[in-house]
Structure 1
Amino acid sequence: MSDINHDTPLLRVNGLSKFYGNRLGCSNVSFELYPGEVLAIVGESGSGKTTLLNCLATRLQPSVGAVEYRMRDGQFRDLYRMSEAERRFLMRTDWGFVHQNPSDGLRMTVSAGANVGERLMAVGERHYGKIRETATDWLGRVEISADRIDDQPRAFSGGMRQRLQIARNLVTAPRLIFMDEPTGGLDVSVQARLLDLLRGLVADLGLAAIVVTHDLAVARLLSHRMMVMKDGHIIEAGLTDRVLDDPQAPYTQLLVSSILQV
Structure 2
Amino acid sequence: MTLSHTPLLRAAGVGKRYGSQTALQEASFELWPGEVLAIVGESGSGKTTLLNTLAARLRPDEGQILFQGRDGALQDVHTMSQAQQRLLARTDWGFVHQHAADGLRMDVSAGANVCERLMGLGQRHYGELRTQAEEWLRRVEIDPIRIDDAPRTFSGGMRQRLQIARNLVTQPRLVFMDEPTSGLDVSVQARLLDLLRQLTQQMQLAVVIVTHDLAVARLLAHRMVVMQRGRIVESGLTDQVLDDPQHPYTQLLVASVLQP
> C-alpha displacement at 1:125, in angstroms?
1.6
1:81 and 2:79 are equivalent in the alignment: yes
- Other-structure match for 1:163: 161
Quick one: distance in 1 between partners of 2:3 and 2:233? 30
SS at match of 1:44: coil
| Partner-residue secondary structure (3-state), 2:34 | coil
TM-fit CA distance, 1:6: 1.9
Per the normalisation by structure 1, the TM-score is 0.97
- After superposition, the C-alpha distances for 1:61-90 in whole angstroms (9 at most, x for unaligned) are 101100111111212111111001110111
Moved more, 143-152 or 115-124: 115-124
Alignment partners' CA distance in 2, 1:219 and 1:84: 32
Is this contact kept in 2: 1:93–1:122, CA < 8 A? no
Match of 1:43 in 2: 41
* 8 Å Cα contact 1:66/1:78 also seen in 2: yes
Match of 2:10 in 1: 12
Q: Which residue of 2 aligns with 1:128?
A: 126
- The separation in 2 between residues aligned to 1:118 and 1:140, in whole angstroms, is 17
1:190 to 188, 191, 195: 188
Number of corresponding residues: 259
Contact 1:142 1:197 in 2 (8 A): yes
Instruction: Name the CA distance, whole Å, in 2 between partners of 1:197 and 1:241.
Output: 21
Matched residue of 2:26: which SS? strand
* Residue identity opposite 2:72 in structure 1: G
Return the TM-score normalized by structure 2: 0.98
> In structure 1, which of residues 245, 250, 259 is the aligned counterpart of residue 243 of structure 2?
245
Q: Which runs of 4+ in 1 moved over 6 A?
A: none
Alignment of 1:141-220 (within 5 A): 141-220=139-218
Correspondence list, 1:85-100, <5 A: 85-100=83-98
For structure 1, the residue ranges without an aligned partner over 5 or more in a row are: none
Superposition CA RMSD, Å: 0.9
| Cα distance in 2 for residues equivalent to 1:7 and 1:74 | 10
Aligned pair partner of 1:235 in 233, 236, 241: 233
1:123 Cα deviation (Å)? 2.3
1:7: Cα distance to partner? 2.3
Percent pairwise identity? 68
Residue 64 (structure 1) aligns with = 62
Deviations 1:112-159 (A, max 9, x none): 000001011122222111110010000000000010000000000000
5+ unaligned residues in a row in structure 2: which ranges? none
